[in-house]
């Protein structure tokens, strides 16, 4: 993928189309509420301590009944307990988990958003037009197991890293860029939100922002900064990062796009035929230079 203005403009237009098609995105202040609180300080990678600039949880409310009734969310949540947290520990996929993975892909493929993404990738010659073959391509990108820790067996996949989160050598949080997983882990007392990350003190996130840079601790470890969409549907994130992944052969792809009111840097790392990691970085919002 070229990093030129033309490619970014085309991608911005496509992603805004996907944004408007994301009818399963939850509405801030109605379906959920967040409390950004204080600006987090510097923490070195591998540290297990961070000054807490947020004494309350990030999520103050989520309409769980609504989430459970949306098919793509319901299938997504079923996948979150299917993985070992630590790298180096081989993953075992049961037949039931295999069916859960496929049911999730089937459900997102029923959405207009994912159909739009598929059509774009077919036009670009990056995906097969047959929906069954495209589903297998999605499975390889997100669910194919690979060796993240070379000392162990197949211990990771793109979905686990990006949406569930994992730890390395018990001293580093990797991934965990999904708001649903963040909320559920926070609800169960596993995540302690430490505050938002921004470049200037005056740039306080709004409660209706759909993208945040966060600092948090998870099961005793600290993630100094992690970018996450807030309130968007699982299919939006899968579509977005699948497109960026398939439109580039680089090990790391980083593109700057404007989606709705947000100027974002979207980052995708390749791990062979699968996603290694993917996440958004919020650059500015509502004309705020962060």
Rounded to 5 degrees, φ, ψ at 255 are: -130, 145
Is 188 marked active-site? no
Report the candidate in 233, 182, 198, 225 with the shortest Cα–Cα distance to residue 34. Answer: 182
- Three-state DSSP at 228 gives strand
Catalytic option among 118, 194, 210, 223: 223
List, in order, residues 6 or more apart from 234 with CB less than 8 Å away: 72, 73, 76, 104, 108, 163, 178, 180
- The answer to whether the CB of 105 falls within 8 A of the CB of 135 is yes
**SS3 letters for 230-288?**
CCCCHHHHHHHHHHHHHCCCCCEEEEEEEECCEEEEEEEEEECCEEEEEEEEEEEECCE
Torsion angles phi and psi, residue 233, rounded to 5: -80, 160
Q: Which of 75, 161, 194, 197 is flagged as catalytic?
A: 161
**CA-CA-CA-CA torsion sign (106, 110, 111, 114):** positive
The CA-to-CA distance between both ends of the chain, in Å, stands at 26
What CA–CA distance (Å, rounded) separates 223 from 214? 8
Q: Is 251 a catalytic residue?
A: no
**161 is a catalytic site residue:** yes
Catalytic residue among 39, 75, 118, 177: 177
Please list, in sequence order, all residues whose beta carbon lies within 8 angstroms of the beta carbon of residue 94, skipping any fewer than 6 positions away.
Answer: none
Q: How far apart are CA 118 and CA 121, in angstroms?
A: 5
| Catalytically annotated residues | 161, 177, 223
């Amino acid at each position: 993928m070229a990093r030129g203005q033309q490619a970014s403009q085309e991608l911005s237009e496509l992603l805004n189309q996907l944004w408007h098609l994301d009818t399963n995105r939850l509405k801030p202040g109605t379906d959920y509420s967040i409390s950004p609180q204080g600006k987090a300080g510097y923490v070195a990678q591998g540290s297990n301590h961070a000054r807490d600039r947020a004494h309350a949880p990030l999520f103050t409310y989520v309409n769980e009944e609504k989430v459970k009734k949306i098919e793509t969310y319901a299938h997504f949540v079923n996948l979150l307990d299917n993985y070992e947290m630590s790298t180096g520990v081989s993953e075992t996929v049961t037949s039931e988990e295999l069916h859960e993975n496929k049911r999730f892909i089937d459900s997102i493929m029923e959405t207009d958003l994912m159909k739009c993404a598929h059509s774009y990738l077919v036009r670009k010659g990056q995906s097969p037009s047959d929906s069954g073959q495209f589903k297998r391509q999605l499975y390889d990108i997100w669910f194919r197991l690979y060796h993240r820790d070379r000392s162990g067996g197949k211990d990771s996949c793109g979905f686990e890293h990006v949406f569930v989160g994992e730890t390395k050598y018990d001293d580093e949080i990797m991934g965990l860029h999904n708001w649903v997983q963040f909320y559920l882990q926070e609800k169960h007392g596993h995540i302690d939100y430490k505050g938002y990350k921004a470049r200037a003190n005056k740039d306080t996130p709004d409660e209706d922002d759909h993208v945040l840079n966060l600092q948090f601790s998870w099961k005793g470890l600290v993630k100094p900064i992690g970018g996450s969409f807030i309130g968007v549907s699982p299919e939006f994130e899968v579509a977005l990062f699948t497109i960026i992944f398939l439109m580039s052969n680089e090990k790391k792809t980083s593109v700057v796009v404007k989606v709705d009111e947000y100027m974002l840097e979207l980052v995708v790392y390749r791990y062979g035929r699968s996603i290694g990691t993917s996440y958004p970085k919020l650059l500015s919002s509502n004309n705020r230079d962060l």
